[in-house]
Each structure stands twice: as structure tokens, then as C-alpha cells.
């Protein structure tokens, strides 16, 4: 296992030097944040980013993410050109030796929460999700009421997109994902890049949009779409955890043993009611995810890929990008490294 940390590039308040000082963190997870969705990731720009990471004494382990254009998810005619460009970006990152690509196939919205700074009894703040609160948000006036998405779409663009998805039910989304993977996975395989889909977060439909990467059977179905090792998973405990049928350690065992988990996202969540949760500190005792059992499953499977602490709370007065401050994630990395050492030495 290689412990990594997400870094948002030059605009991130958390610096590469900060990350380098977290014991046991050696790898960086990053992206080109200024390339418009659908455009090719230029080799020179990826190479510059890699050089910056390496000059800080770290390695560029994972691209998270190259976003997938909505026209690909919707199966529109423009998808062929967009998929070609996607393949070119995959080839470019592979040429530079960056081995893993985390991406997602969630329509319109990536991860979604109803509160980005919920105050906990210890006065830290965390991200929370409450399904009833989400259902009350009226999107007809745009995304302004949706935490984290205030300026993502103009009301007209959003309405057009939501209307387009009325024609795309779950099965069509599966078909469109299959179409995408059938074309991208061979290029990834050829370029020594491992594709690692991120599960839908939260793992159920929101705003009537289809969401399909949610539970064990759907992960298996994804792997079967193109049965090749380059078609794999980002196993995110915080995204899969809220779905009660998901037995996370069993799933890790099943998919990691077959070499299909290419990236481990570890986050704890505390279920507060059905379809309601708070993001919790990483250790098992604070949430509904048994992190010890999850790591034990990785270790038994001989997992050698990148792992990262996922979202952290805001603690010690830190302000910054919700979920992506330095302190609580650094504690998470140290906890995960500690569990790993204990498991390794007692195993
Ligand atoms: C949330 C992240 C996701 C993830 C994308 C991958 O914090 O885990 O936004 O990066 O879904 O495409």
C-alpha cells in the first residue's frame, strides 16, 4: 500500500511541503483543474504538474479526475469525438508514467451534501447529508441552494441537462458507460493506466437522476462490462458505506483479491438515520465504517496500490476547502498508516 494525499494544485491552501511533512505520505493525487471538461489534457501541462510534485520529494500516483463530459453519459452523438479526446488524455498521462485514473459516471452532480459545515459537539465542523433536506431543494431556479454547487450551472443550462436525463434511465446509463469503457479501456491498457471508477456519492438517485455505481452487484456489473484488469475501482468507503446492503470488508476482499481495486479512498461516516449521515473522523470507533476490518481485508488481499484518507473535518480553527483541509486528513493518514503497520506486524 502507498499512502497518498489529494492536492488541488497551486491554488490549494494545503501545500506540497505540508503534505511531505505528514509521516508516511509519499504520493500525490491531483489533476489539471483548469482544462475545460471534454478538452485533451496536454502532455506538457501534465508533465509540469508532475515535475512540481517531484520537486517536493513526492510522486504523482493518481489522476483524480479526468471528468467525463455529460454528452458521453447521455449517449449524445458528440460522444465519439469526446471519447477520442478522453483516450488521448489517458494516453498522455500513461506516457508520463502516472499509473491510476480515478473518474466517475455520476450524471450532473458529483458528490453532494446538504451541509458543508455542520458543527459537532466538539466544535469541529463536518459535511453532512440529509435526504429530506436534499429533496426540498428546488433546482428550477438553479443550483444556488445546493451546498458546494452554487455557481456550477446557470438555471437554463441546468434545466436543459435535467430534461435531457429524463430520457436516460438506469439501463441507458449502463449502456452509455459500457460504450465509453469499451473504447477507453483498451487505450488505458495499452498506456499502462488503470481505470478506477469512483462510486456514486451518496449511493442512490438524487433529484430523480439515475445513479448506478452504488452497491456490490453494480460494482461487479461494472467490472464485467469490460473484463480486463485495466477496468477497475476506486473503492470509497464513505460513498459505499451509507447503503446498508454493502458489507465493505467483504467487498474489499472480493474485489481486491481479483486485483480490481486500483485506488482506496478511506473515509468514515456515521449514519444518523436512513439516508442521513455525518462525515466522521477516520477511526472505526467514530463511525459506521469498521476501518480496522476494511484495512485487514486489504492486507489479506495483498493490496499494493495507492490509498488516501478521504474527507476530513475542519479542526483547530482551520478554514479551507470543505472536506479537504490539512489537519484532520493528516490525522487520518497517520491512523491508517498505524493500522497498516499493526496489521502487518501481527499478521
Ligand atoms: C470527493 C471525491 C470525488 C471524486 C470524483 C472522482 O471528495 O472523492 O469528487 O474525486 O467523484 O471522479
Question: What domains lie within the chain, and their CATH numbers?
Answer: 2-346 (3.20.20.150)
Residue 200 Cβ inside 6 Å of ligand 1? The answer reads: no
Alpha helices in the chain (DSSP H): 16-20, 43-55, 70-73, 79-95, 131-135, 155-165, 170-190, 216-225, 237-240, 248-257, 291-300, 327-346
Catalytic site includes residue 87: no
Per-residue pLDDT of the chain (347 residues; tens, 9 = 90+): 999 999 999 999 999 999 999 999 999 999 999 999 999 999 999 999 999 999 999 999 999 999 999 999 999 999 999 999 999 999 999 999 999 999 999 999 999 999 999 999 999 999 999 999 999 999 888 888 899 988 889 899 999 999 999 999 999 999 999 999 999 999 999 999 999 999 999 999 999 999 999 999 999 999 999 999 999 999 999 999 999 999 999 999 999 999 999 999 999 999 999 999 999 999 999 999 999 999 999 999 999 999 999 999 999 999 999 999 999 999 999 999 999 999 999 97
| Distant-in-sequence, close-in-space partners of 341: CB < 8 Å, separation ≥ 6 | none
Residue 198 Cβ inside 6 Å of ligand 1? The answer reads: yes
The secondary structure of residue 1, as a DSSP letter, is -
Q: What is the pLDDT of residues 176-210, one digit of tens each?
A: 999 999 999 999 999 999 999 999 999 999 999 99
Q: What is the pLDDT of residues 293-311, one digit of tens each?
A: 999 999 999 999 999 999 9
Catalytic site includes residue 310: yes
Mean of the per-residue pLDDT values for the chain?
97
Three cell numbers at 61? 500516483
Catalytic site includes residue 11: no
Amino acid at each position: 500500500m502507498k499512502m497518498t494525499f489529494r492536492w488541488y494544485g497551486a491554488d490549494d491552501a494545503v501545500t506540497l511541503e505540508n503534505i511531505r511533512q505528514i509521516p508516511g505520505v509519499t504520493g500525490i493525487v491531483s489533476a489539471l483543474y483548469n482544462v475545460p471538461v471534454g478538452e485533451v489534457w496536454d502532455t506538457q501541462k501534465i508533465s509540469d504538474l508532475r515535475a512540481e510534485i517531484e520537486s517536493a520529494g513526492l510522486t504523482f500516483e493518481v489522476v483524480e479526475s479526468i471528468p467525463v463530459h455529460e454528452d458521453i453519459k447521455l449517449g449524445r452523438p458528440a460522444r465519439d469525438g469526446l471519447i477520442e479526446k478522453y483516450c488521448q488524455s489517458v494516453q498522455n498521462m500513461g506516457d508520463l508514467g502516472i499509473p491510476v485514473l480515478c473518474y466517475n459516471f455520476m450524471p450532473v452532480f458529483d458528490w453532494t451534501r446538504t451541509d458543508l459545515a455542520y458543527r459537532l459537539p466538539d466544535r469541529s465542523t463536518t459535511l453532512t447529508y440529509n435526504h429530506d433536506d436534499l429533496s426540498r431543494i428546488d433546482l428550477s431556479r438553479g443550483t444556488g441552494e445546493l451546498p458546494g454547487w452554487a455557481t456550477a450551472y446557470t438555471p437554463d443550462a441546468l434545466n436543459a441537462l435535467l430534461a435531457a436525463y429524463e430520457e436516460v434511465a438506469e439501463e441507458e446509463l449502463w449502456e452509455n458507460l459500457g460504450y465509453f469503457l469499451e473504447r477507453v479501456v483498451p487505450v488505458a491498457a495499452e498506456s499502462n493506466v488503470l481505470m478506477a471508477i469512483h462510486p456514486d456519492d451518496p449511493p442512490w438517485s438524487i433529484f430523480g437522476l439515475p445513479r448506478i455505481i452504488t452497491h456490490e452487484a453494480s460494482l461487479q456489473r461494472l467490472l464485467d462490462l469490460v473484463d480486463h484488469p485495466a477496468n477497475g475501482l476506486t473503492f470509497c468507503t464513505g460513498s459505499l458505506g451509507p447503503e446498508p446492503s454493502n458489507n465493505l470488508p467483504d467487498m474489499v476482499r472480493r474485489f481486491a483479491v481479483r486485483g480490481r481495486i486500483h485506488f482506496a479512498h478511506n473515509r468514515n461516516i456515521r449514519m444518523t438515520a436512513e439516508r442521513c449521515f455525518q462525515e466522521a473522523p477516520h477511526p472505526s470507533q467514530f463511525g459506521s465504517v469498521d476501518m480496522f476490518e476494511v484495512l485487514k481485508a486489504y492486507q489479506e488481499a495483498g493490496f499494493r496500490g495507492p490509498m488516501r484518507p478521504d474527507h476530513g473535518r475542519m479542526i483547530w480553527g482551520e478554514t479551507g476547502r470543505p472536506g479537504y483541509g490539512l489537519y484532520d486528513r493528516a490525522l487520518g493518514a497517520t491512523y491508517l498508516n498505524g493500522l497498516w503497520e499493526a496489521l502487518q506486524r501481527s499478521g
